[in-house]
Amino acid sequence: MDNIGKICDSTIIVDGLTVVTGGNNSGKTTVGKTLYSIVSAVEDIKQNAFIDKRDFARETIRRTLSRIELRRYSKPEYSEIDKNADITTDIDSIFDITVFRQIESIEGILSIIDEKIKKLNNCSEKDIYEFLEEEEENPAKNQTRDKRLVDNFMKERTEVIKFLDEVKKSIQADSELIEYTNAKIIKTLNTEFYNQIKGANNESRESKIRLYQGNEEYYNIELLDNDLSSKNETFFLPAFDSSLFVDDVFVIDGLRSLGLISSLFNSSEGEISYESFLNRLPRKHHKDKLRDKLRKNNNLFEENLYKAKTEEIIKCMKDANPGEIALVKGKYVIENLDIRNLAMGSKMFLIIKTLIEKGHCNSKTLLVLDEPEIHLHPEWQNILAETIVLLVKHLETKVILTTHSPNFLLAIDVFTKIHKMQKITHFYKSTSIDKYKVKLELADENTNEIYEKITNPFIELETKIDAIEKNDLCE
């Protein structure tokens, strides 16, 4: 990583438990946020690309067909009210957007568009008049309206077909998904960094993120002023299947609410190019994604082997285990207590426990825990430290952990030794280069330097207490 937030020219090992230490405003969070972003962006990339293209086609076609006034008189206009509406005529099927719900491939999308183009071309004035007669008990009263609708259809048809052809081109573009993947990566980074990926006060305009193992390269991302510096491929192989970022225990309070995702289709009708599609890809913040995971079971949850591996981890939580969560009368509760009323420390354990029990932690998961001990008493910090070490040991989840707590850091160190996890546990310290830049340095062989740095405030207080006591004695 180079020129990402405050971090410059730093290499981080992620093969088990990675602990990043430092004071406030020392770039600790940037490490996890960066890795979370690039992994999250490419999760299920082919399936997500299909879903995004399908939704883009559906909404763009819906908007384009609205140019034809006849659409207001077709049954699909009421599809959101009656999802089982009987689409019986060709004119109804022209305006039917509900058909996209069953489509499972790009070829299916193209087939729907071709069918609509064919029916638009074949539709005659006679067909429209007959359609309108079926809709009205006394068609004679609506001759003026019917003539207007026919004229509007004939006038707009050519332009609508042209738009549908353009939609097809956009859907067929970028078959290797290189542009799509690049767009997802940069959009996710900018979402998490609020459009300020590079150091705010770093004069260099260039930033780099690279993820690799030996000679095998997963990502090679070069940025210029918070955007990709070229259209070259940036993602080559998936290093993880999924990523999770936990930095706020209050995320559990919003389990009943749906995350807000910016609309994919908020621009004008004329913008239907593939570039426009990429520019309007939806944004999803890590907190919304985490809520989704906390609600849903992964298939791994059903596997006996996975359950057996989790038993020791859950048992380790001891008194910190908040209990079983249940949905009762529209509220998530634990033993009749609304989870929103749980203590903040209990919420952290509930989040980790739920992710484990629902099968979201495995050997291909990257889990980022940003100062997870912040609401915990030292006794519970010790419990959390061992829980995390066991999570890495038994489920082989890759964890990036940030902290500036001496007790929590010591607990992590002790439990990695107890459970013989030293080989895949790495400690990093943040070292200032200047006011606006830091470098992360590996400290596996000299963790005492980390302890010394983060315990200095206690030593300073002890010195002051000694001075106060001496003054009291003198008086």
The string of DSSP letters for 406-456 reads HHHHHHHHHHHHHTT-GGGEEEEEEEEEETTEEEEEE-TT-HHHHHHHHHH
Report the alpha-carbon distance of residue 186 to residue 231 in Å, rounded.
12
CB–CB of 57/171 below 8 Å? yes
As a whole number of Å, the CA-based R_g of the chain is 29
| Structure token pair of residue 258 | 């749906």
Q: Which residues pair with 401 in a beta bridge?
A: 19, 369
Type of residue found at 18: T
Query: Residue 200 has what DSSP assignment?
Result: T
| Structure token pair of residue 220 | 């090679």
Dihedral (CA of 74, 78, 80, 86) sign = negative
* Of residues 255, 260, 329, the one with CA closest to residue 296: 255
Q: Which residues 6+ apart lie within 8 Å of 299 measured at CB?
A: 359
| Element (DSSP H or E) covering residue 399 | strand 398-403
Dihedral (CA of 220, 233, 177, 62) sign = positive
Type of residue found at 403: T
- Helices 28-41 and 178-192, packing angle to 10 deg: 150
How long, in residues, is the chain? 475
| Element (DSSP H or E) covering residue 224 | strand 216-224
| Structure token pair of residue 329 | 């009368």
Report the alpha-carbon distance of residue 433 to residue 5 in Å, rounded.
13
> What are the distances in angstroms from CA 388 to CA 159, 236, 255, 380, 416?
59, 30, 23, 12, 10
- Residue 350, pLDDT score: 95
Report the alpha-carbon distance of residue 463 to residue 24 in Å, rounded.
23
Number of helices (H) and strands (E) in the chain: give both, helices first. Answer: 14, 12
Mark 317-338 as b/e (b = at least 16 C-beta within 10 Å): beebbbeebeeeeeebbbeeee
Residue 133 burial class via C-beta count within 10 angstroms: exposed 0-12, middle 13-18, buried 19 and up: middle
Q: In whole angstroms, what separates CA 148 from the centre of its chain?
A: 48
Residues in the chain predicted with pLDDT less than 70, given as ranges, are: 76-88, 135-141, 257-270, 299-303, 472-475
β-strand pairing of 206-213 with 216-224: antiparallel
Phi, psi values for residue 148, rounded to 5°: -65, -40
